[in-house]
Amino acid sequence: MRDFIALTDYSSAELKEMLELAVQLKQERNEGGNKPLFAGKVLAMVFQKPSLRTRVSFDMAMRHLGGDALYLSPAEIGLGKRESIADVSRVLSGYVDAVMARVFEHEHILKLAEYSSVPIINGLSDFNHPCQAMADMLTILESHNNLKDLRMTFIGDGNNVAVSLVFACAKLGIHFTIASPEGYDLPQVVVKEAEDLAVATGSNIQQNRDPFAAVEGADVIYTDTWTSMGQEDEAQKRREVFATYQVNEKLVDLAAKDTIVMHCLPAHRGEEITDEVADGPHSVLFQQAENRLHAQKAILVKLLSS
């Protein structure tokens, strides 16, 4: 049995295999429907944080593949409060075939996996967001027909999304540059691990303070909200710190002519990204959102199919 906790748990070949499977499953769906591979199987979805894309995409992924999904709200579980994480994990293992959890603390995902006898999927933690990164790689593959030696520039906070992206790029041979203000960088331990992984694929990992210099010639521009859930008390300060890190038309014009602009959503339009860019010709925001469904199908098939 395997879990899906972090991209670093999988080899480059395995990640490529899952992306190929995602392409296949998306094509099958568009041509009339997927095979009922998961008939009789149930995914428990444990949420500490609300989500549109994570909830609906995982629920529909199970339905498309013939299974079912069970939503468990924060009030129903009280993960680590009403009941210990170890007990929750062992109880759910007796009821369902897999568990997807969207949590605040990464330690909660690790604890669920430690005590579970069914696969655990990380739907998001404060450390990383591997399911999002897989959907992002699928979107880039569709837009550019390859991944190797493309150039991605991430503009903004070195947050959980950026962590999974730098690992995905290092594993798949994409050159990754992040432009962040001082104090909002990727954790150094993450940068070091990504650089070590990049040796095998030839990926180049760079950090920059100047978003305009960082984006020159980029094939992919990626941004995310400046204030993540749980950081609301920092919102005003972050708006001031990140004011020059907005993805707007002036910045996009410096990238490659066929660059794509990505955002994991929800977007704070007028802050990290303008309407003109989010709805413009370079935007793949909604293709990217749809691909959460297809990438997660591939993850589920990897974990649940014999």
For residue 2, is it within any domain? Answer: no
Angstrom distance (rounded) from CA 143 to CA 171: 19
Domain identity same for 84 and 151? no
Among residues 3, 97, 238, 264, the one annotated as catalytic is 264
Which residue type does 25 have?
L
CATH number at residue 165: 3.40.50.1370
Which residue type does 91 have?
V
List the Cα angle 115/98/135 in 5-degree steps. Answer: 115
Report the C-alpha dihedral over residues 77, 82, 86, 88, rounded to 10 degrees: -30
Domain identity same for 105 and 138? no
Whether 288 is catalytic is no
Q: With bands split at pLDDT 50, 70 and 90, how would you rate the model's confidence at 231?
A: confident
Domain identity same for 115 and 145? no
Quote the percentage of the chain above a pLDDT of 90. Answer: 93
For residue 139, is it within any domain? Answer: yes
pLDDT at 162: 98
Q: What is the mean pLDDT of residues 11-20?
A: 98
Domain identity same for 113 and 141? no
For residue 91, is it within any domain? Answer: yes
Domain identity same for 87 and 224? no
For residue 169, is it within any domain? Answer: yes
HEC-encoded secondary structure of the chain? CCCECCHHHCCHHHHHHHHHHHHHHHHHHHCCCCCCCCCCCEEEEEECCCCCHHHHHHHHHHHHCCCEEEEECHHHHCECCCECHHHHHHHHHCCCCEEEEECCCHHHHHHHHHHCCCCEEEEECCCCCHHHHHHHHHHHHHHHCCCCCCEEEEECCCCHHHHHHHHHHHHHCCEEEEECCCCCCCCHHHHHHHHHHHHHHCCCEEEECCHHHHCCCCCEEEECCCCCCCCHHHHHHHHHHCHHHCECHHHHCCCCCCCEEEECCCCCECCCECHHHHCCCCECHHHHHHHHHHHHHHHHHHHHCC
Among residues 48, 132, 246, 296, the one annotated as catalytic is 132
pLDDT at 180: 98
Domain identity same for 13 and 74? yes
Whether 169 is catalytic is no
Domain identity same for 164 and 240? yes
Q: How many structural domains comprise the chain?
A: 2
Domain identity same for 245 and 137? yes
For 298, counting Cβ atoms within 10 Å of its Cβ (0-12 exposed, 13-18 middle, 19+ buried), the class is buried
Among residues 64, 106, 263, 292, the one annotated as catalytic is 292
Q: What is the mean pLDDT of residues 195-208?
A: 98
Q: What is the mean pLDDT of residues 265-273?
A: 97
Other Cβ atoms less than 10 A from the Cβ of 208: the count is 15
Angstrom distance (rounded) from CA 151 to CA 218: 5
Domain identity same for 278 and 298? no
Whether 29 is catalytic is no
Strand partners, 42: 68
For residue 157, is it within any domain? Answer: yes
Q: Does the pLDDT of residue 306 top 70, yes or no?
A: no
Domain identity same for 141 and 241? yes
Among residues 106, 108, 129, 151, the one annotated as catalytic is 129
For residue 1, is it within any domain? Answer: no
Which residue segment(s) compose the domain that 17 sits in? Answer: 7-129+292-304
Domain identity same for 253 and 152? yes
Q: Does the pLDDT of residue 104 top 80, yes or no?
A: yes
Domain identity same for 20 and 90? yes
For residue 105, is it within any domain? Answer: yes
Q: How does strand 220-223 pair with strand 151-155?
A: parallel
For residue 203, is it within any domain? Answer: yes
Whether 132 is catalytic is yes
Among residues 102, 108, 238, 294, the one annotated as catalytic is 102
Q: Does the pLDDT of residue 20 top 70, yes or no?
A: yes
Q: What is the pLDDT of residues 136-181, one digit of tens each?
A: 999 999 999 999 999 999 999 999 999 999 999 999 999 999 999 9
